Chains A and B, each alone.
Chain A
Amino acid sequence: MTGRVAMLVSTSGDDGGAVIAYRLRHLLEAGWDVRLFCKGGVWGREPALQDEALRGRVQVAARARADSAPFQRRLRRLRPALVHIHSGHLASKYVARGLLPDQRLVVSFREDGQDLDAPELDGIWRRVTLALFPSDVACGRALDRGCPEERAEVLEPAIEIRPNGANGEGPLRLVSFGPLVWERGYEHSVHAVALLREMGVRCEYRIVGEGEHVQAVAFARHQLGLHDEVRLVAPDGKPLESADVFVDPAVSDSASSTALAAAQSSGVPYVATARREAPPEGGGIVVPRRDPVALAEALARLARDPGLRRRLGRQGQQQTGFAGVYDDAQRLESLYRRALS
Chain B
Amino acid sequence: MHLLEVGVHWPPETFLRRKLEGLAAGGMRVTVAANAIRDADAELAGVELIPPARAGSGLRDALALLVRSPRRLARLLLGVRRVPPGLARRHGGRRAILRMCLPLARLRPDVVQFEWNVAAVDHLPLFAVWDCPVVTSCRGSDLTVYPHVPALAAYAAGLPEVLGRASAVHCVSESLVAEAARHGLDIHKARVIRPAVDPAAFQSAAGRAGGAFRVLMVSELRWEKGYEYALGAARELVDKGVPLALELLGGVPPAGSSERNRIAHTVADLGLERHVTLAGAVSPEEVGRRLARADVLLQSSLAEGIPNTVLEAMACGLPVVTSEAGSVTEAVSDGIEGFVVEPRSAPALAQALLRLWRDPALRRRMGVAGRERVRSGFTLERQLQDFLSLYGELTAAR
* Chain A residues at the B interface, C-beta cutoff of 8 Å: 181-183, 187, 191, 212-216, 218-223, 232, 251-252, 289-290, 292
Contact = CB atoms under 8 A, between A and B. Distances in A.
B145 A289 contact: no
B269 A251 contact: yes
B269 A232 contact: no
B151 A215 contact: yes
B151 A191 contact: no
B375 interface: no
Interface string B339-352: 00001101000000
B181 to A, nearest CB: 17
Nearest to B152: A215
Contacts of A289: 269
Contacts of A221: 148
Contacts of B258: 181-182, 212-213
Interface string B246-259: 00000000000011
Interface of B: 144-146, 148-152, 223-224, 228, 232, 258-259, 261-262, 265-266, 269, 302-303, 343-344, 346
Contact of A218 (B150, B262, B346): B150
A212 B255 CA distance: 12
B152 to A, nearest CB: 8
Nearest to A254: B265
Contacts of B259: 182
Contacts of B148: 218-219, 221-222
Question: Top 4 nearest A-B pairs by Cβ distance?
Answer: A222-B148, A216-B223, A182-B262, A215-B149
Contacts of B343: 223
B322 to A, nearest CB: 16
A191 B262 contact: no
A251 B145 contact: no
Name the residue in A191, A222, A292 with the highest tally of chain B Cβ atoms < 10 Å from its Cβ: A222
Contacts of B150: 214, 218, 232
A251 B262 CA distance: 9
B151 A219 contact: no
A214 B149 contact: yes
A219 B224 CA distance: 9
Contacts of B303: 219, 223
Given A223-B302, A251-B269, A290 B232 contact: yes
Contacts of B261: 182
Contacts of B228: 187, 251, 290
B345 to A, nearest CB: 9
A82 to B, nearest CB: 48
A182 B269 CA distance: 14
B149 A251 contact: no
A11 B223 CA distance: 45
Given A181-B258, A221-B148, A292-B344, 6 more contacts: A187-B344, A213-B223, A213-B258, A214-B151, A220-B302, A252-B265
A215 B223 contact: yes
Nearest to B325: A223
B149 A219 contact: yes
A187 B302 CA distance: 11
A307 to B, nearest CB: 33
B98 to A, nearest CB: 28
Nearest to A292: B344
Nearest to A290: B232
A213 B145 CA distance: 13
A214 B146 CA distance: 11
Contacts of B149: 214-215, 218-219
